[in-house]
């Protein structure tokens, strides 16, 4: 069974987070995800994220703290997803190497059809946003 180490960026811009839709015909095609990709040999997760986000969406980001690591077994592949909080630095968002993208508020994440490995991340962010609102 193949295992891949993959980064995923939770990019915040104000109250919104960037999500992207995977290319048709790719693994998990047309599912929504947190953009990123496979870590290349010799690359740190932070370098990988900066490279992938530029390639896929033409954006510059600052990579912050790691949010969580999710291990998910798909039928044909095991994915270890390294999720980092990131902030938007600049650039106009473009779907360069993804089908589509959206900037969404956290409360709307649940209405997108995410890749299965992302569901713990979506649940965590949603719960956290709920408790933040409650503590005001």
Q: Which residues are annotated as a binding site?
A: 22, 27, 33-36, 56
**Contact between 38 and ligand 8DG (CB under 6 A)?**
yes
Residue 24 or 135: which CB sits closer to ligand 8DG? 24
Region of 80 (left: φ > 0; alpha: ψ -120 to 50; beta: rest) is: beta
Query: Cα–Cα distance between 29 and 130 in angstroms, integer?
Result: 30
φ, ψ dihedrals at 99, nearest 5°? -75, -40
Compute how many other C-beta atoms are within 10 angstroms of the C-beta atom of residue 26. 12
**Contact between 8 and ligand 8DG (CB under 6 A)?**
yes
Strand partners, 7: 82
Taking CB under 6 A as the criterion, the residue among 17, 61, 115, 125 binding ligand 8DG is 115
Q: Give me the 24-63 binding string for Mg ion, x by CB under 5 A, dash otherwise.
A: -------------x--------------------------
Query: Cα–Cα distance between 69 and 48 in angstroms, integer?
Result: 15
Name the residues that contact Mg ion, by CB under 5 A: 37
Name the residues that contact ligand 8DG, by CB under 6 A: 4, 6, 8, 26-28, 33-38, 52, 77, 79, 81, 115, 117-118
């Amino acid at each position: 069974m193949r295992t891949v180490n993959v980064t995923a960026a939770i990019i915040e811009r104000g109250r919104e987070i960037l999500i992207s839709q995977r290319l048709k015909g790719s693994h998990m095609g047309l599912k929504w995800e947190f953009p990123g990709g496979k870590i290349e040999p010799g690359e740190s997760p932070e370098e990988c994220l900066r490279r992938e986000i530029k390639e896929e969406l033409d954006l510059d980001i600052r990579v912050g703290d790691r949010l969580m690591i999710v291990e998910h077994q798909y039928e044909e592949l095991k994915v270890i997803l390294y999720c980092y909080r990131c902030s938007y630095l600049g650039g106009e968002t473009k779907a360069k190497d993804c089908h589509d993208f959206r900037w969404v508020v956290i409360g709307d994440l649940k209405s997108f059809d995410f890749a299965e490995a992302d569901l713990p991340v979506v649940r965590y962010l949603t719960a956290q946003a709920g408790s933040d609102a409650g503590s005001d």
